[in-house]
DNA sequence: ATATGTAATGTAATAACATAACATACGAGA
DNA sequence: TCTCGTATGTTATGTTATTACATTACATAT
């Protein structure tokens, strides 16, 4: 398991995010971990940086928040897509290989070397819409 | 022309972004417009809010910056895609109808009501890669 | 055991991005 | 004129992220 390689702080942040089962801001994580000794934003940001690198955690750019990968360690075929409910805040993560392929081909026409893809969908989930 | 409906502040911000021909943060815009009387962030943010609503300007979530729509007033068929060069900062905006279609169908399977799509590609443009 | 090197962590200060709250101006219609 | 909505101005505050530097923990070499 990749998690076994995590340091103490990284592990605490990852556990926190996993238990939350939804997106948290860095400062929300900090507050949640104060009782366990966290004192400063940087402790959270450093852990998040590593976790993101390992793809155990994803950053949601459109809400400046972080969420645990819903596939454990994320080996999607293609980029991850996030559907974010603006009403209840839940996030659904899925892979869309066709989308990634299409974007790559669009971009290669222009000689653009793609390194990272961000796809975030904002809207309302089924449950919230039903209400 | 839609621009004729803009207020003074909105117009100044739009002109600023258009002349820059690339992304600017709100505070960079503020600094650029200080000589023309801007004093506070809110003046910029209010203008940006309206311009974004009119799709004359797009917000780049992954860099907390704003860029003038490269299609004037943006009526893409489907969501806009931004290819951002991490080296030189240039942004290429294009439409990808197939991508939008695919994302919509993915999402509708789950009863998610899509309201806004963010697609941002980070990497290196042809010029920078050649060097 | 001691020294050295390196990765991780701790801490404070500050930068960068964004909004709240309230005051004022000003034109379009009743 | 009066009133209402929209735009603007101003100050303060809130939120997110990074810089800079000090310290600790741990592995390895002498
Ligand atoms: Zn994932
Ligand atoms: Zn919901
Ligand atoms: Zn556009
Ligand atoms: Zn470039």
pLDDT tens figures, A61-116: 999 999 999 987 667 667 999 999 999 999 999 999 999 999 999 999 999 999 99
Q: Taking the model in full, what pTM does it have?
A: 0.94
Chain A residues whose C-beta is within 8 A of a chain B C-beta are: 61-62, 81, 83, 85-86, 92, 94, 96, 98-99, 102-103, 106-107, 110-126, 129
The ranges of chain A annotated as CATH 3.30.1490.190 are: 80-125
- Torsional sign, CA B66, B71, B72, B76: negative
CATH top-level class of B80-125:
alpha beta
pLDDT tens figures, B83-108: 999 999 999 999 999 999 999 999 99
CATH number of this structure's domain B2-68: 1.10.10.10
* Distance between first and last Cα of chain B: 40
pLDDT tens figures, B32-80: 999 999 999 999 999 999 999 999 999 999 999 999 999 876 676 679 9
Structure tokens at A118: 């961000």
Compute the distance between CA of residue A26 and CA of residue A89 in angstroms, rounded to an integer. Answer: 16
Does B1 score more than 70 pLDDT?
Answer: no
Q: How far is the CA of A24 from the C1' of C15 (A)?
A: 22
């Amino acid at each position: 398991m990749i998690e076994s390689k995590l340091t103490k702080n990284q592990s605490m942040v990852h556990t926190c995010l996993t238990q939350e089962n939804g997106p948290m801001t860095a400062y929300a994580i900090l507050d949640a971990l104060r009782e366990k000794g966290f004192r400063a934003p940087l402790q959270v940001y450093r852990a998040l940086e590593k976790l993101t690198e390992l793809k155990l955690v994803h950053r949601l750019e459109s809400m400046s928040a972080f969420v645990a990968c819903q596939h454990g360690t994320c080996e999607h075929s293609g980029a991850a897509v996030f559907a974010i409910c603006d009403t209840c805040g839940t996030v659904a993560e899925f892979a869309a290989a066709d989308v990634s392929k299409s974007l790559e081909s669009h971009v290669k026409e222009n000689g653009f070397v793609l390194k990272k893809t961000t796809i975030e969908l904002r809207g309302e989930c089924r449950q919230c819409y039903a209400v």
